[in-house]
Chain A
């Protein structure tokens, strides 16, 4: 153990001098109409990634569950001058990749393209048209609607999706995170192209957008590109903050019959928001409890010692408002109750006693060592920028990350877990026979 502590001290020493260079050279600015941009230049590969994230995830669905996801999927279905076929062909011709995805918080449009101007320019023109001039044509609407209805069926044949949807429903009753990102079949069937356009006009606006750019560009080029991409968007308004989620008041257990060999189990409760000041003690603790791949407490107890599961983990999903804390596992039907008991006992012990000093030191060392692995390529840098930009984390988030991990103390960690996690008030969802 002396070795561990020695290395840890060494790491801290080299990462905290006052003159330390920033981890990433992040440039940031705001476009004329109010979109926020974060940019990192990387010149080793002739490629560029651009991610445009609107605060327009399913949390904004309001009375139309599924409208956020449906709107996001419709952008590539036609613009003022281009058909869906032309949009797809324009990207493919220059080897560019485009994808649109929606989650509970974000609606994201991502472009990966080569940086050679002859290939880049057509890709950007096409991307800008998709972002700023979608027309929501009726033919595309009907087809995408059918695709979404099939996606509901696909979710229903996967016990893990059934469990996840049931868990969110139980945890977020009456809150914007309650329903699945896809919405409900009834709502999706009742939606109209006009409703989507209304959603688009409200949320796909510059002040509600966060843009991350990584790749083979100069700052001047990146600035031009940003204006070109979103310059035509209305300024609009940033989406209103989401209300805080009330804590779970009593334990609940929900059993859903499903023809599967395994019981899919989720145990959890309300966790924390992205801006929570206790995020680091919780995050470092969770690394020990259930996140550290192959070595966590849950992995040891449920998998290694008892062979109950192939995969078992715990995670905090910090969102705009309080995201969930969950323990997820799958086990054969006859072992379900035993596995749940072991997982819960592991959690209780962890919350009551906290980790040992040795475990904490090892976890810190592991997380500090991991740090460079998460910013090693363009895709990872893009992900970090998007996180920092969308959740308005401080711009020195990456620079101070290691100090914050190092600073977590045992009493602080224990106090945070005891404050936020009540093992006697967990929601347990079991999907299986």
Chain B
């Protein structure tokens, strides 16, 4: 297997030559707005993303979903540009505009011709301080949000299962609550609630502007200065720590809704890159997820889908870029003639192997080759590049951590993978959720 080692070597020799084309430059305005520019000169386009450090995990009980609701209202007009004008301006200029809300961030982006970048920054600066938040418009938008809830969650058996699974896996940790919010909380939100949320969190010193594309950093800085510098810095609320309770034993959840296919979810409470005491642990967990499900050649598909034919679909995932403790999630759909119990036994066995047997050099190299290649493929999309920077910065980590990712992954040893498996993949850390189709045994 010398061949594989050679490939990896070649790869690492090869990447620096391409590193120059994606230079990153960082600035901070006097009002605290951070600006991160990544150059990508392949095409005359640019993506501008404004990330706010606020999301579902910032929300106190009773107003869950408020970050997401505010994100919707950010498209309903400002004092300067009335309702609907903003979207129209960007559309008329050939751009795409949209937004996203997650546990730890709320983000707004424009994808456009590089010459139109000033427009995007002007509009984002305007809605950072001049939002209308009209009561009537919110009553309509709330109906839209409730439709989104029905579509995304209520009419999707797996999404409903996932929601109950997260609520059981996290107790005091606010990842307990769904990003979209609990239905009753959404229904009872008011425009006044949203106004307060907006005034609390939407300040330049609580935001990061990420710009990736065919731009010169100095030019972006000048534009950002022009549009954002007049906005004053404001104090933002101090978040309480909200660590989770220590687990006292395995948690199990059953979801019985109309569905056709059973589904299994198993999650282990683990640290994230932000919360980990040992910096290598999250990277070892990333490796563990890839060993199980990094490709069609990884253990899950090879052993459980093709080998034992227990499952028709399997997955293993871990989100290391999170503000609070995270979850290592396994999921699978049993093959016809098999059930979730059998699949759970098989998943548990695979976990046991991680805990007892060191991964071979050959398998380790294969998994690492996948990571390294994926990192290069990700450069094909400026949206993905911007997303990595924003995901890190919005949880208070430096974008430089993203640049070191490959190095950190390469440094993970077989013993470290075994160690995190032993430490975290224990019954106490485990939550199991099963979707049992209604009317089926």
Contacts and interface: CB of A to CB of B under 8 A. Distances in A.
Given A150-B312, A372-B44, A367 B94 contact: yes
B123 interface: no
Given A44-B42, A91-B297, A92-B297, A153 B377 contact: no
Interface string B321-336: 0000000000001011
B150, B260, B365, B380: which has the most chain A beta carbons within 10 Å? B380
Interface in B217-255: none
A262 B10 CA distance: 54
Contacts of A332: 146-147, 150
A98 to B, nearest CB: 8
A365 B93 contact: yes
A153 B312 CA distance: 12
A303 B83 CA distance: 14
Contacts of A311: 151
A280 B385 CA distance: 34
B411 interface: no
B21 A365 contact: no
Contacts of B373: 94-97, 113-114, 119
A308 B45 contact: no
Contact of A369 (B87, B112, B374): B112
B10, B75, B91: which has the most chain A beta carbons within 10 Å? B91
Given A92-B370, A95-B374, A331-B147, A377 B381 contact: yes
A118 B261 CA distance: 43
B259 to A, nearest CB: 5
Interface stretch (B152-160, B185-193, B280-288, B346-354): B152-160
B92 A362 contact: yes
A295 B147 contact: no
Interface residues of B, number: 78
A310 B156 contact: no
B382 interface: yes
Contact of B309 (A112, A146, A304, A372): A146
A244 B45 CA distance: 40
A307 B150 contact: no
B258 interface: yes
Nearest to B337: A146
Interface stretch (A26-34, A60-68, A82-90, A420-428): A82-90
Contact of B376 (A46, A85, A371): A46
B97 interface: yes
Given A4-B92, A307-B141, A376-B45, A369 B113 contact: yes
B312 A293 contact: no
A261 interface: yes
Nearest to A112: B377
A332 B145 CA distance: 12
Contact of A158 (B43, B97, B146, B156): B156
A17 interface: no
Nearest to A371: B94
B407 interface: no
A372 B261 CA distance: 42
B14, B154, B297: which has the most chain A beta carbons within 10 Å? B297
A92 B381 contact: no
Interface string A286-303: 000000111100001001
A377 B381 CA distance: 7
A330 interface: yes
Interface in B283-314: 294-298, 301-302, 305-306, 309, 312-313
Given A119-B7, A119-B11, A294-B97, A88 B146 contact: no
A376 B91 CA distance: 18
A7 to B, nearest CB: 8
B398 interface: no
A76 B95 CA distance: 40
A317 interface: no
A425 B305 CA distance: 47
A157 interface: yes
A416 interface: no
B155 A369 contact: no
Interface in B367-401: 369-370, 372-374, 376-377, 379-382
Contact of A116 (B4, B11, B305): B11
A149 B154 contact: no
A373 B111 contact: yes
A47 B155 contact: no
A159 interface: yes
Contacts of B155: 159, 260-262, 330
B142 interface: yes
A225 interface: no
Nearest to B438: A259
B130 interface: no
A47 B11 CA distance: 12
Contact of B95 (A95, A259, A369): A369
A84 B151 contact: no
B144 A293 contact: no
Nearest to B365: A93
Contacts of B305: 143
Contacts of A118: 6-7, 10
Contacts of B437: 157
Interface string A267-297: 0000000000000000000000000111100
B18 A93 contact: no
B42 A309 contact: no
A147 B312 contact: yes
A424 to B, nearest CB: 28
A402 to B, nearest CB: 11
* CB-CB nearest 4 A-B residue pairs: A369-B94, A95-B373, A307-B143, A376-B43
18 contacts: A88-B295, A93-B4, A94-B369, A95-B11, A98-B296, A118-B6, A119-B11, A143-B305, A154-B333, A157-B260, A294-B75, A310-B151, A332-B147, A367-B94, A370-B96, A373-B96, A377-B382, A379-B380
Given A95-B370, A157-B260, A377-B381, 8 more contacts: A45-B380, A119-B7, A149-B336, A295-B91, A369-B116, A370-B94, A373-B96, A378-B380
